[in-house]
A and B are shown apart, each in its own frame.
Chain A
Amino acid sequence: MNWGSWQNFFAMGGYGLYVWGSYVVTLVALIVEIVALITRRRGVIERLTKYYAARRSNHET
């Protein structure tokens, strides 16, 4: 498949909006999930660190 130019590649034979609209939204959706997973892991570790700290101080008092 030879597109000739970047312009042709982005135009997708007149279907650029539909083709790139599909690929870009898919990419964004996957990135959102990956970021959400990283954020969730950090959040869990942060929350549980506080939870154990609170539990320890309860035992001490």
Chain B
Amino acid sequence: MRTTGRFSWFYFSSPQSFYPLAGALQPWFAGLAAILCAVGLYISFLVAPTDAQQGEAYRIIFIHVPAAWMSMFLYLVMGFWSGVGLVLNTRLSSMVATALAPTGALFTFIALWTGALWGKPTWGTWWVWDARLTSELILLFLYIGFMALQAAIDDQRRSDKAGAVLALVGVINIPIIYFSVKWWSTLHQGASVSMTGAPTMAKTMLLGMLIMALGFWMYSIAATLARVRCVILERERQTDWVAAEIGRQS
């Protein structure tokens, strides 16, 4: 690591030094994701018992809840890096925010899709316009809006700024999603895992869900690192180091 006398964290805030770091870390996160998801699926289907009330339909929980958690968490991370990019004008922060959006949108879609497939056998309907489902759908639109807005503005700085403002305004939706089941009377059940109070689920069910959530988390990091490397190459194409990197790759 370069010693310029500055705090060393800033070293990796330049796209040039972050690019190889992301490349080195990415396969480890991808590998961890694969292992965790394999273990999670094993527990979900071969260890966790049948639910007394919902039968086997409840097994959707092992992807539904982790995907819903990731959809909200990735938005917060995207909002955070958007804010950092907006305030400090650090290019890499905005690139990370841009790279997070498609994966966040993907997990939002998965949460909505699996929710519909779980709702049908348990509630008798694929969809209701209740607070939880509607606010999660708004989250999908926020992700899509962020990507569309960034794609529509050619000037990179303006594109980053506009996207960051949209992302930050949209952060208000996250507590609304999370607390919607408490604030309003909804068809959706309450939180599966609460920070206070005893767990209401069987231990193996909870374990399977947490391991799948960790797997999705690692997957999200791997996908974001892979995408941010593409974004860095595209946006920094005027620099000599990207020209040299492309020369090595092709």
Contacts and interface: CB of A to CB of B under 8 A. Distances in A.
Interface of A: 1, 9, 12-15, 17-19, 21-23, 25-26, 29-30, 33-34, 37, 40-41, 44-46, 48-49, 51-52
B233 A48 contact: yes
B229 A41 contact: yes
A1 B1 CA distance: 51
Interface in B95-139: 102-103, 106, 109-110, 113-114, 117-118, 120-121
Contacts of A26: 63, 67, 110, 113-114
A9 B120 CA distance: 20
Interface residues of B, number: 40
Contact of B117 (A21, A30, A49): A21
B227 A13 contact: no
Nearest to A38: B226
A34 to B, nearest CB: 7
Contacts of B56: 12-15, 19
B47 A1 contact: yes
A60 to B, nearest CB: 16
B115 to A, nearest CB: 9
Contact of B110 (A17, A25, A40, A52): A25
A49 B55 CA distance: 56
B173 to A, nearest CB: 22
B47 A19 contact: no
Given A15-B55, A21-B117, A44 B230 contact: yes
Contacts of A18: 57, 60, 117-118, 120-121
A30 B66 CA distance: 14
Interface of A: prevailing SS: helix
Contacts of B59: 12, 15, 19
A52 B223 CA distance: 27
Contacts of A41: 226, 229-230
Contact of B102 (A15, A33, A51): A33
B247 interface: yes
Contacts of B230: 37, 40-41, 44
B20 interface: no
B216 to A, nearest CB: 9
B4 interface: no
A51 B239 CA distance: 13
19 contacts: A1-B50, A9-B45, A12-B57, A13-B57, A14-B55, A14-B56, A18-B57, A18-B60, A19-B57, A21-B117, A22-B60, A26-B113, A33-B102, A34-B223, A37-B226, A41-B226, A44-B233, A48-B246, A52-B243
A49 B50 CA distance: 55
A32 B226 CA distance: 14
B91 interface: no
Contacts of B88: none
